[in-house]
Amino acid sequence: MGNRYFEVLERASSFLEKHGKEGYSILFVFLERKGWTKTDWLLHLKDEITCADEQQINEDLKQLANNYPPQYLLGYGDFYEQRFLVNEHTLIPRPETEELVDRCLKENPNQSLTVVDVGTGTGAIAISLKLARPNWQVTAIDISEEALKVAKKNAQQLEAEIEFIHGDALKPIKNKRIDIMISNPPYISNAEWALMDESVRTYEPKTALFAENDGLAIYQRLADEAKDKLNPEGKIYLEIGFQQGEAVKELFQQAFPQKQVEVAQDLSGNDRMVIVSTKKEEG
């Protein structure tokens, strides 16, 4: 009798663990490729493995051992209960960014608002907002034409009507005032390079990750450009690096002295968002 599914996957998983990688990732990729649920897996794990499946596992194993992200292998990642196409031109959407989307939705009603997502990547933020708030007019901007191709495909597949613009920061926004600006911009400083996961350093797009001036360059630009483009009652939602809270808060407080600027934490307790909103009424 040939090898059984669980034997092949167990060996692959141990191999990854031994090389300091996430052992579960090979099973995750395998189940996704097969379209199997955990129950399917329990039913089939003692079956004899097909040659094609064994070959696919070996190919995937090589890639995972080289730190290639599972989402790039599969060509998609999940975000805010939707599935988004990803490739090496886009960042892989992260759970922390779901918290940014969540916060924005909780604090803003489904009325006609002009919303701009800067540095849209896969389109995950813009599309998630539009699906949850159909009355919002959502514009998504990215400096990478390749990323925009992916974002447009995602919007089409998920049936979200969004205006996509190729451009840099808020420059392309000419004739409209913004009610909400939201962004997960490049914010990793060169000094933090060594702390980055090997797979991120090797495969994810550098322009979407790194920023000059300790990772603050893009925030300085956004604060500056938003001054002229944000409605007086407008709000800003930003994802930040865990060490940038105070610096980013200060940049936006200087740009918007009349507004309330706060640093908010993610579920792990790290500083992860800066939110600029209208001053709370006294009393």
Q: Are residues 142 and 231 in the same domain?
A: yes
Please tell me the predicted confidence (pLDDT) of residue 282.
40
Q: Are residues 18 and 118 in the same domain?
A: no
Query: What does pLDDT average to over the chain?
Result: 91
Is there a binding annotation on residue 142?
yes
Is there a binding annotation on residue 69?
no
pLDDT in tens, 9-26: 999 999 999 999 999 999
Is there a binding annotation on residue 3?
no
More confident residue, 91 or 86: 86
Q: Are residues 62 and 90 in the same domain?
A: no
Residue 281's pLDDT band (cuts 50, 70, 90)? very low
Q: Are residues 20 and 117 in the same domain?
A: no
Is there a binding annotation on residue 93?
no
**Locate tokens 């094609």: which residue?**
52
At 48, the amino acid letter reads E
Q: Are residues 126 and 217 in the same domain?
A: yes
Distance in angstroms (rounded) separating the CA atoms of residues 56 and 58: 5
Residue 283's pLDDT band (cuts 50, 70, 90)? very low
| CATH number for the domain that contains residue 193 | 3.40.50.150
Q: Are residues 83 and 182 in the same domain?
A: yes
Q: Are residues 194 and 271 in the same domain?
A: yes
Expressed as residue numbers, the domain containing 45 is: 5-66
- The last residue of one of the domains, among 66, 89, 111, is 66
- The last residue of one of the domains, among 66, 85, 116, is 66
Q: How many domains does the chain have?
A: 2
Q: In this model, does residue 208 exceed pLDDT 60? A: no
Is there a binding annotation on residue 120?
yes
Q: Which two tokens stand for residue 145?
A: 């034409």
Q: What is the pTM of this model?
A: 0.91
Is residue 213 in some structural domain?
A: yes
Q: Are residues 54 and 147 in the same domain?
A: no
Q: State how far the alpha carbon of 21 is from the alpha carbons of 63, 133, 175, in Å.
A: 11, 39, 49
Is there a binding annotation on residue 121?
yes
Is residue 199 in some structural domain?
A: yes
The mean-pLDDT minimum among 155-164, 174-183, 188-197 falls in 188-197
Is there a binding annotation on residue 2?
no
Sorted by sequence, the CB contacts under 8 Å of residue 270 that are 6+ apart come out as: 242
Is there a binding annotation on residue 119?
yes
Q: Which two tokens stand for residue 213?
A: 């001036």
Is there a binding annotation on residue 215?
no
In the predicted model, what is the mean pLDDT of residues 193-208?
Answer: 69
Please tell me the predicted confidence (pLDDT) of residue 241.
86
Q: Are residues 100 and 207 in the same domain?
A: yes
Q: Are residues 150 and 197 in the same domain?
A: yes
pLDDT in tens, 39-66: 999 999 999 999 999 999 999 999 999 9
Is residue 115 in some structural domain?
A: yes
Is residue 283 in some structural domain?
A: no
Strands 271-277 and 230-239: antiparallel
Strands 178-183 and 230-239: parallel
Is there a binding annotation on residue 110?
no
Q: In this model, does residue 201 exceed pLDDT 80? A: no
Q: Are residues 135 and 41 in the same domain?
A: no
Q: In this model, does residue 262 exceed pLDDT 70? A: yes
Please tell me the predicted confidence (pLDDT) of residue 176.
79
